[in-house]
């Protein structure tokens, strides 16, 4: 049974299914109950599953993650919402020093099946701290898994898989794609959570992206096709672990790679991809791996964000520079 729905609704349906099938699953966060979350991703869940399962928490992010850890120790599978990307930092300590390390610290005796949902990224004209892309700050931490869906179907299935994971998963939701609709097949057999997917085949250059930038890269590939350039688009889907085999396979074919993300380029996931692909594909590459992303500056006020965010022309410019080698 398939249905066309917005990504926000797909996540909602996925949470609903998890709450329905596993009594240990909890949804918790600020305003997730009665309001249904500021983006309405948890809309109606408290009404159907009650205040004990869908929990409006105090306004304290460290408390949300810290108590989720305790609930996980008790056998629950909490899915917590951090309201916006820029508000995760009070919880950063709990995520990095406790959530990520508990399994190793206990020599595997304690599991941490906690999902931390973070609506992230820009492009919605928001005020400060509401448009950031902090995924690299989490990818650096062993013990965490980091994923970001780019479409409704992946949003649904990757949430199912994240909740079933016995490891903590940071689930980055591209908030500017929340209302993009896509087909969701509720009986599909989903691809493995941490595998990348080729979403457009090409021969001249690979564009690698995840989350909000996948759609942009598809638009870039369509524009480039009009100019006779064949671009392959790879939806990485998972930042940690990152499917380097898929990137390598694509680059061995196209010999050129441009990585696109909203996060600042400096020490971003593109840097890690560039380094590893240079090691793996040194003799295949016709050009250095290029990156398109945010600048080494605070995320700008909304009136400037179009200049800061990668867009069609900036990615095409990088494509041209790569092809010029």
Partner 1 sequence: MTVESSAARKPRRSAAGKAGTTGSKTGTTGDTTGATGTKRTTRTARSTAKKSADTQLVQLLTPEGKRVKNAEYDAYVAGITPEELRGLYRDMVLTRRFDAEATALQRQGELGLWASLLGQEAAQIGSGRATREDDYVFPTYREHGVAWCRGVDPTNLLGMFRGVNNGGWDPNGNNFHLYTIVIGSQTLHATGYAMGVAKDGADSAVIAYFGDGASSQGDVAESFTFGAVYNAPVVFFCQNNQWAISEPTEKQTRVPLYQRAQGYGFPGVRVDGNDVLACLAVTKWALERARNGEGPTLVEAFTYRMGAHTTSDDPTRYRGDEERLAWEAKDPILRLRRYLEASNHTDEGFFSELEAESEALGKRVREAVRAMPDPDHFAIFENVYADGHALVDEERAQFAAYQASFADEGGH
List interacting residues with partner 1 (CB under 8 A). Answer: 52, 57-58, 60, 62-63, 65-76, 90, 93-94, 97-98, 101-112, 142-143, 145, 165-167, 194, 240-244
Long-range interactions of 309-316: CB distance < 8 A, separation 24+: 309/122, 309/123, 309/262, 310/213, 310/216, 310/260, 310/261, 310/262, 311/216, 312/216, 312/219, 312/220, 312/223, 315/207, 315/216, 315/217, 315/220, 315/258, 315/260, 316/220, 316/223, 316/224
Q: Please, which residue, 74 or 296, has the CB nearer to partner 1?
A: 74
Instruction: State in angstroms the smallest separation of the CB of 51 from partner 1.
Output: 10
Q: Please, which residue, 56 or 286, has the CB nearer to partner 1?
A: 56
Of 177, 133, 142, 185, residue with least CA distance to 160: 185
Instruction: State in angstroms the smallest separation of the CB of 276 from partner 1.
Output: 10
166-189 burial: b if 16+ Cβ within 10 Å, else e: ebbbbbbbbbbbbebebebeeeee
Pair 39, 11: CB distance under 8 Å: no
Q: Please, which residue, 90 or 300, has the CB nearer to partner 1?
A: 90
Of 103, 129, 130, 284, the active-site residue reads 130
Give the distance, in angstroms, between the CA of residue 248 and the centroid of all CA atoms in the same chain: 21
Q: Please, which residue, 95 or 315, has the CB nearer to partner 1?
A: 95
Pull the structure tokens for residue 131. Answer: 């448009």
Q: What angle do CA 217, 219, 224 make, to 5 degrees?
A: 90
Pull the structure tokens for residue 294. Answer: 């945010």
Q: Please, which residue, 178 or 244, has the CB nearer to partner 1?
A: 244
Instruction: State in angstroms the smallest separation of the CB of 322 from partner 1.
Output: 26
How many residues belong to the chain? 325
Of 170, 118, 169, 177, residue with least CA distance to 153: 177
Q: Please, which residue, 145 or 177, has the CB nearer to partner 1?
A: 145
Instruction: State in angstroms the smallest separation of the CB of 314 from partner 1.
Output: 29
Instruction: State in angstroms the smallest separation of the CB of 65 from partner 1.
Output: 8
Of 76, 89, 79, residue with least CA distance to 16: 79
Instruction: State in angstroms the smallest separation of the CB of 201 from partner 1.
Output: 24
Please confirm, yes or no, whether 130 is among the known catalytic residues. yes
Known catalytic residues are 130
């Amino acid at each position: 049974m398939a249905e066309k729905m917005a990504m926000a609704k797909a996540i909602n349906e996925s949470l609903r299914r998890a709450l329905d099938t596993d009594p240990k699953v909890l949804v918790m966060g600020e305003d997730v109950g009665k309001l249904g979350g500021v983006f309405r991703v948890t809309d109606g869940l408290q009404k159907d599953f009650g205040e004990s399962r869908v929990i409006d928490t105090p306004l304290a992010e460290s408390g949300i993650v810290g108590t989720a850890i305790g609930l996980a120790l008790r056998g629950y599978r909490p899915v917590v919402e951090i309201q916006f990307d820029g508000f995760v930092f009070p919880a950063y300590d709990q995520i990095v020093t406790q959530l990520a390390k508990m399994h190793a610290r206990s020599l595997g005796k304690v599991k941490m099946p906690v999902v931390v949902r973070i609506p992230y990224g820009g492009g919605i004209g928001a005020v400060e701290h509401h448009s950031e892309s902090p995924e690299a700050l989490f990818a650096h931490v062993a013990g965490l898994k980091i994923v970001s869906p780019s479409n409704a179907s992946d949003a649904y299935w990757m949430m199912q898989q994240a909740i079933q994971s016995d490891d903590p998963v940071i689930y980055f939701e591209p908030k500017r794609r929340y209302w993009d609709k896509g087909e969701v097949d509720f009986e599909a057999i989903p691809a493995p959570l941490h595998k990348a997917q080729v979403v457009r085949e090409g021969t001249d250059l690979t564009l690698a992206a995840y989350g909000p930038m996948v759609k942009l890269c598809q638009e870039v590939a369509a524009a480039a096709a009009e100019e006779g350039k064949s671009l392959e688009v790879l939806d990485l889907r998972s930042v940690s672990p990152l499917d380097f085999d898929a990137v390598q396979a694509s680059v061995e074919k196209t010999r050129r790679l441009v990585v696109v993300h909203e996060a600042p380029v400096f020490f971003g996931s593109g840097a890690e991809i560039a380094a590893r692909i240079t090691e793996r594909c040194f003799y295949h590459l016709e050009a250095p791996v290029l990156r398109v992303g945010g600048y080494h500056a605070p995320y700008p006020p909304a009136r400037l964000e179009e200049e800061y965010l990668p867009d069609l022309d900036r990615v095409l410019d990088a494509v041209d520079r790569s092809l010029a080698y």
